[in-house]
Chains A and B, each alone.
Chain A
Amino acid sequence: MSPLPQGLENPFLAPLLLAAFLPLLLHILDRRRARAVAWPAMRFLVPRSRGRLRRRLLREALLILVRSLAALLLAYAVLRPYALEEEAAEGRGAGSRGVVLAVDTSYSMSYREKPEGPSAFEAAKDAALQVLEETSPGDAVHVIAAGHRGPAPERPAPLDPDAARRAVRDLRRGGAPFRILEALDQASDLLPGLRSDRREVLLFTDLQASTLPDGSPERLRFAADRLRSPGPPPLVRIIDCGAPSPSNRFVSTLAPGPLAAGTDEPAHLEAAAEASGRDPGPMTLRLLVDGAEAAAAEPQARGGRLAHGFAQRFTAGGVARLSIALPPGDGLPEDDARHLALEVLERIEVLVLGRADAAASAARHVDLALAPRAPDGPAPAVIFRPELAPSLEPAMLEGKRVVVLAALERLGDAAAAALERFVEEGGGLLAFAGDEVAAPGVAEGLFRDGRGVLPARLAGRDSVPSGAEPLHPRDVATGHPALAVFADPEEGDLSRIGVRRWTRAEDLPRDAVVLGRLGPDLPWIVERPRGRGKAVLVATSASTDDSDLPRTPLFLPLLHRLARYLAAGDPAARTVLVGQPISARLPPGLTAAEPYAVDPRGERRPAAVEAAGGEPRAVFLETLFPGFYELRAGEGPGAMAEVFAANVPPEESRLERLGAPALADLRAALGVEVAPDPREATRTSVTRSVKREHWPAALAIALLLLFAEQVLARGFARGAEAARKPTPWR
């Protein structure tokens, strides 16, 4: 056994090593605690000879040393030190083999070191096939595509070598990241089914840094225990199929702005690119709209990242296919573009709830602010299309993006549930808490102790005393996208609004955010996300009953920005990572149609139909390629065609390799052998790393030392007793 430890199982207990100083500390404390004794016979306390005094001191020092060593070794044993040793392992020989082949199918495996050379994925498949060449007909094999989303199949039967070869050849890249410990867990599930004389687990991966995100000792120990149980531990090898020093440029971000994109004003788009393994250098980011280049930028790199904000104007509504693309030329082309399916609105349909009979009613104020026009005049040239209704019926929500709650006499359970579902699915709710909305019958149904859609409990109405100064909004979050227009008080100062009446907003849920206040404990504007949508509460009425806001020029931009913000819904609803499912609600007339998906290569693939919330939905699971997908159903007018985008997870583009310490931990905990080249996959291991624990030896030596300490202490005491002459007074 190697006398020097190469690692510790419990490094967090290292402070226990200070226990070595305990005997010395106790010695010093004993000295300090010495009680004073007035003593007449001082002359007898001094040994007659210096040699004897020195011997006594040496004995004491020896005892302290032995105790310290024992304490040190006990603490050392608790740390569970170990050393790694090479041990002859079972390899080629008599008896049947049971082999689990786990191949990393994540997107980082697509990397090619040389354009004409194989990708890591192809090298892994070749290496796996070579391993299978070494098997015999009686051997049992499992093939795991590690890196696919979704649950692994339940304990499949082992394959014979021929079937295993076919399974390896059929392996395709998945969308999920590859994790070494998860692959070993899957292998552990399959090992009990292998009734073989020798069992092996072979992992084919590029050893990307993200393959071991949680390499904590406990997690590694858990994986090791699972591999060992039941039966003898298998031979575990990792075949390194990755390039030694990969470099990759990739688009890491393409995100829409927080406001709904419309045809009336440019939409904001955030784009960024990064480089893995080297400095990104100058790169041109090209914005493609529906396949055509619309803009380009060459931003400066900051902190290894290139970022640029595009302002893109759209001339027509619908789902725009946006891409940010880099010039091609590196080893992983799949991540050189990032895609976004962005819904561009020609009109924002708004349902305004409240009575419109009174000229100065809250609903009328909202209606006119959203779309100023004569009562029966034509629709103005603004994006908002408000529809007034005195009460809420679920059917009214069809096609709407935002509901404005200006006034409502009552709210039934069905209407409240429909409103909650509307927000969950990406709709926006803007509630003005005037007298009607704050009435208990409406407010309770909307809040439902935090489970409802409202961002706060409406706890009653308050007002300033007669003759007193009105309150003014303060602490307005002008950093919020909906309130950014008020960042410059010259452009519009919300603190000038005078508020005489308001509704107390209390019991804010944890995810609610206050965007403005009327006083220290008086929230005025509160936002809360709900599902894929959002709700905003304004604690005053939209009429002039509570404040002069509707009379001021600030009302229109405030209402427009809030409505536009709420109409955005979930901007990423149509954009997924490769391997994630896409789905769309089937229109009522197409429930019998067979939906299908058109993938980025233009191939038509069947989609499934699932019922979710009582509605049929078309679902497509195999989004294995980055690019745009179309979920379609039916033909001709009324047919469904929903556009989605799929992207490579950014972590698959970061190709930094797993560090040597992490690999050493793997070797130590699991006895894993790492083959640095896929061509060595067939070299049957003759040795393997075996962890030898040092703690039993340390514990044994510590106990021996404690025993020796007892013997020495008693021996010293006996020697002194024997040397003493009998006393005459006894």
Chain B
Amino acid sequence: MSAETRDSLDPAAVARLEPLELVARTLVEGFLKGHHFSAAKGASIEFAEHRPYAAGDDVRRVDWKAFGKTDRFYLKEYEDETNVRATMIVDASGSMAFGTAGITKARYAACLAAGIGYLLLAQRDAVGLAVAGAALRRYLPPKATARHLRGIFDALDAERAEGPTLLAACIHRVAERLRRRSLVVIVSDFLDDPREVVTAIAHLRHRHADVLAFHVLDPAEAEFPFKEWALFQDSEDPSARLRIDARQIRDVYLENLAEHLDVLRKGCAALEADYSVLTTRKPFDAALAAALDARSRRTK
């Protein structure tokens, strides 16, 4: 990957771009350029019928073999096939507003979701959006149109990270709405009961959905760099406070976090769901590659 491409995927640099559509295009084009992917690769287009040429039709779609046989112009009609119906569940709870690396978790999640949406639509896939918070705040069913994708971008831009997290309940609500085999992408900090979240993912799997879970962590959450006494206030509940010597509690914190992640990782592995942990310093390309990979597996 070139330095230019790497810069285009740097989370802090990307977070500064507006609007989200531009972010998505920058991410995907940089990603594809870096990995020499083709936008049409994997697309499935099947022949449907011939129809006579009409003024204004694209001459490139003329079937020249038929012209040789019949001496008349016919156009080949294809039936577009939407390969994948993807739904992205993006966490917009209060805990996602936290950020120390020049970007909040919420912005990172929005950028990542926008990139994945843009990439999937480029594959002619239908893309939908579910915004999770204390309840399922917004649900846009999957569609394969650019206009719909812009609606998704607008929705991601409009959402504010606030309120408590009830991620598992939101996933259950999305699972209930799935009609066909789907790809579900979850972007969240998973600050919910990990066993309930795993149960919700099992619900998705039961509905024949492939699941791709991105666990977004801020570097401070991952490393707990505090070295003195601090008064910790809960982002989702300001009344919850804890005055403690950070040096003394660091190992407890890291242990608890590791255990939390362990439950999620093992649960996802058992359900054959993809699970990745990302810090907001990590470039988006790995996540996009994972999304593309999951999409490929889904279409085989």
Asked if residues A40 and B251 are in contact (CB atoms below 8 Å), the reply is no
Q: Which of B95, B229, B251, B277 contacts A41 (CB 8 A)?
A: B95
A contact residues vs B (CB 8 Å cutoff): 30-31, 33-48, 52, 56, 60, 720-721, 723-729
Interface residues of B in 218-246 (CB under 8 A from A): 218, 221-222, 226, 228-236, 240, 242-245
CA gap between A724 and B253 in the complex, in Å: 9
Nearest B-chain residue to A30, judged by Cβ: B229
Asked if residues A728 and B251 are in contact (CB atoms below 8 Å), the reply is no
Q: Is B252 part of the contact surface with A, judged by Cβ < 8 Å? A: yes
Asked if residues B222 and A729 are in contact (CB atoms below 8 Å), the reply is yes
Q: Is B11 part of the contact surface with A, judged by Cβ < 8 Å? A: no
Asked if residues A37 and B231 are in contact (CB atoms below 8 Å), the reply is yes
Nearest B-chain residue to A47, judged by Cβ: B252
CA gap between A44 and B222 in the complex, in Å: 11
Measured between beta carbons, the chain A residues less than 8 angstroms from B235 are 38-40
27 chain-A/chain-B pairs, Cβ below 8 angstroms? A31-B229, A35-B228, A35-B231, A36-B231, A36-B233, A37-B232, A39-B98, A39-B232, A39-B235, A40-B94, A40-B191, A41-B221, A42-B234, A43-B191, A44-B257, A44-B260, A45-B249, A46-B256, A47-B252, A60-B245, A720-B250, A720-B252, A721-B251, A723-B251, A727-B254, A729-B278, A729-B279
Measured between beta carbons, the chain B residues less than 8 angstroms from A34 are 228-231, 243
B295 to A: closest C-beta gap in Å: 24
Using known A-B contacts A36-B230, A40-B236, A724-B255, determine if residue A45 contacts B242 with beta carbons closer than 8 Å. yes
Q: Which of A38, A52, A728 contacts B261 (CB 8 A)?
A: A728
Asked if residues A729 and B217 are in contact (CB atoms below 8 Å), the reply is yes
Using known A-B contacts A30-B228, A37-B232, determine if residue A48 contacts B256 with beta carbons closer than 8 Å. yes
Q: Is B1 part of the contact surface with A, judged by Cβ < 8 Å? A: no
Nearest A-chain residue to B218, judged by Cβ: A40
CA gap between A720 and B228 in the complex, in Å: 17
Q: Knowing that A36-B230, A723-B251, A729-B279 touch, tell me 9 more A-B residue pairs with CB under 8 angstroms.
A: A30-B229, A34-B229, A34-B230, A37-B233, A42-B234, A43-B191, A720-B252, A721-B251, A724-B255
Nearest A-chain residue to B105, judged by Cβ: A40
Provide the main secondary structure of the chain A interface.
mixed
Asked if residues A35 and B230 are in contact (CB atoms below 8 Å), the reply is yes
CA gap between A725 and B258 in the complex, in Å: 6
CA gap between A497 and B283 in the complex, in Å: 106
Measured between beta carbons, the chain A residues less than 8 angstroms from B229 are 30-31, 33-34
Asked if residues B245 and A30 are in contact (CB atoms below 8 Å), the reply is yes
Q: Which of A31, A37, A52, A727 contacts B226 (CB 8 A)?
A: A37
A347 to B: closest C-beta gap in Å: 92
A465 to B: closest C-beta gap in Å: 78
Nearest B-chain residue to A60, judged by Cβ: B248
CA gap between A40 and B259 in the complex, in Å: 17
Measured between beta carbons, the chain B residues less than 8 angstroms from A728 are 258, 261, 265, 277
Nearest A-chain residue to B236, judged by Cβ: A40
CA gap between A225 and B21 in the complex, in Å: 90
Nearest A-chain residue to B228, judged by Cβ: A30
A470 to B: closest C-beta gap in Å: 79
A717 to B: closest C-beta gap in Å: 8
Asked if residues B258 and A42 are in contact (CB atoms below 8 Å), the reply is no
Asked if residues B222 and A720 are in contact (CB atoms below 8 Å), the reply is no
Q: Is B189 part of the contact surface with A, judged by Cβ < 8 Å? A: yes
